[in-house]
Amino acid sequence: MDTLQMHLLKEVAELDALPVGAYNIRANGESAARNTTANIDIVTKTDKPGIDIIIKPGTKNESVHIPVVLSQTGLKESVYNDFYIGEDSDVVIIAGCGIHNCGGVDSEHDGIHSFHVGKNAKVKYIEKHYGEGEGRGKRLMNPTTEVFLEEGATMEMEATQISGIDDTLRKTTASLDKDASLVIHEKVLTDGEQSAVSDFSADLNGEGSSCNIVSRTVAKGNSKQHFISVLNGNAACAGHSECDSIIMDNANVLASPQLSASCTDAGLIHEAAIGKIAGEQLMKLMTLGLTEAEAEEQIVNGFLR
Amino acid sequence: MLELKNISFEAEDGKQILKNISLKIDNRFVAVTGPNGGGKSTLAKIIVGIYKPTSGSILLDGKDITDCSITERANMGMSYAFQQPVRFKGLRVRDLLKMASGNNASLDDCCEMLSEVGLCAREYVDRELNDSLSGGEMKRIEIAMVLARKTVINVFDEPEAGIDLWSFQNLIRVFEKMYAETKGSILIISHQERILDIADKIIYLKDGVVEQYGAKNEVLPNLLNGTSGFCPALTNNNK
């Protein structure tokens, strides 16, 4: 990998060198490095681009890194990564995509990830998107995440897209069996002419299942955001979705939370709030000696932490 | 020294909140008291720059600061503890202490700042200043931020309001210690006799007018005897 790709890798996966544990690094549409462990196997798909990641039952305290970097302008790819996480395992999965586009043609990465999480397994999934480059070509990402949680399985997902992606459609679907739990934290910042759509849908099918979706976003410039969350309570379950947005300049934010219950014991809640930075928050930080611009930066950085 | 010259303030609805107030605050510890709605908080906000007076001027050590922004006044050495501390989603206690003290706010630094107000740094530095903190905790953190700034003019708006679980005596001790150990002036809005009792001077503000301003020994007895609108029955009851 070249210096530019190493830089992108650092932005999306905080990696300076090859990670410990299992990994698959994809650079400009090709596998650049791979490592498997006794418990985690990575197999290249034969029918379409992508990999299968197979984690043995009972695998504990291991991690998988699957970052993607694109520095070749005009490259468009769809990649299918399927995770099979064995029963009772406890793993961390770090994905992410960085695009550097300095050319005049659009670059696009569409990652389609599926997670089949076995009984009582625990997964932490961290995904970070980053774009840069001065070219006129757009940087586009459309991640699709499909989550299947078996009985007692838990997944915590952190998705971050702080800058540089022109257009994104994030689609996340989940189905939860008995006592399964899904927590999603999403952080998005858009600026300029960017547009971001987050579309979540979770089917809470099992008794005792729970889902909590928390989205914090900041929309600046002329950017547009649309947050959609659909929670379907099909059993005695608990569902909560929260969309909290700071709107600045001429941006536009649309929040469409939707709840559907087909069981009297389904407890579903949604909260959505869109507003500018509160004047008293700016004032408080200004009484500590910060300028208005510095105060704004601190508030936004804290909000998206 | 802080000087207010002919300060008036008219609210958006046309109500006259402050009426031609002229004051020199040259003592180390001055308390502002008076009935609710009398203009005390407005006066504090005009001093720190949150409100601009409709007319009149404010001088700090002889320099006219009427047109200075909140930030400029903060950097000249003014601090302000809000009556209702502001909450922030995502910002932690440590972040605010860092901004207030201007240093990196290590755990030891935070410990020094928070222990003054009876909070354990280990327990609080990583807490977000969101709805999970009680009003009393927020209030104490607000006071700690002002202490951390070590500034020349320190304005507190009803610091006693909502202080929970932590004895009132400790709050008094905070101000006594600040008075003894720092060189700054303390301007404190309060309804509490015990706070008024440790001040050098007391300003009694009613209906936007300074009705009394003088040494504590002169003003406080008048207030407690009910000659200035303090209800004697209530005062006696509270004793």
Residues of B in contact with A289 (CB under 8 A): 71, 74-75, 99, 102, 149
Question: In Å, how far is B142's CA from the nearest CA of chain A?
Answer: 10
- The full set of domain ranges for chain A reads 3-279
CA distance between the termini of chain A: 30
Domain count, chain B: 1
B89 → closest Cβ in A287, A290, A303 = A303
pLDDT tens for each residue of B186-233: 999 999 998 999 999 999 999 999 999 999 999 999 888 876 555 555
Write down the ipTM of this complex.
0.93
Mutate: best of A271, A287, A290, partner B, most B CBs <10 A: A287
* CB-CB neighbours of A257 under 10 Å: 20
**Mean pLDDT of residues grouped by 10 in chain A (305 residues)?**
81 78 90 92 94 96 91 88 97 89 85 96 93 83 94 96 87 98 96 94 98 96 96 97 95 96 97 94 96 95 92
Helical (H) or strand (E) element with A199: strand A195-204
Domain containing B66 — which CATH number?
3.40.50.300
- Given this model, what pLDDT does residue B75 score? 96
Cβ contact B168:B174 at 8 Å: no
Task: Identify residues of B whose CB sits under 8 angstroms from chain A CBs.
Answer: 48, 50, 69-71, 74-75, 78-80, 82, 85-86, 88-92, 95-96, 99-100, 102, 145, 149
Cβ contact B70:B143 at 8 Å: no
Mutate: best of B41, B94, B99, partner A, most A CBs <10 A: B99
CB contact under 8 A, B99 and A305: no
Q: What average pLDDT does the segment B47-61 reach?
A: 96
CB contact under 8 A, B71 and A289: yes
Distances (CA, A) of A19 to A51, B70, B228: 18, 48, 74
CB contact under 8 A, B75 and A283: no
Mutate: best of A189, A284, A294, A300, partner B, most B CBs <10 A: A284
Q: Which domain holds residue B98?
A: 2-238
Tokens of residue B182, six digits: 């720092």
Q: What is the mean pLDDT of chain B?
A: 90
Distance (Å, whole) CA A172 – CA A80: 14
- Given this model, what pLDDT does residue B231 score? 56
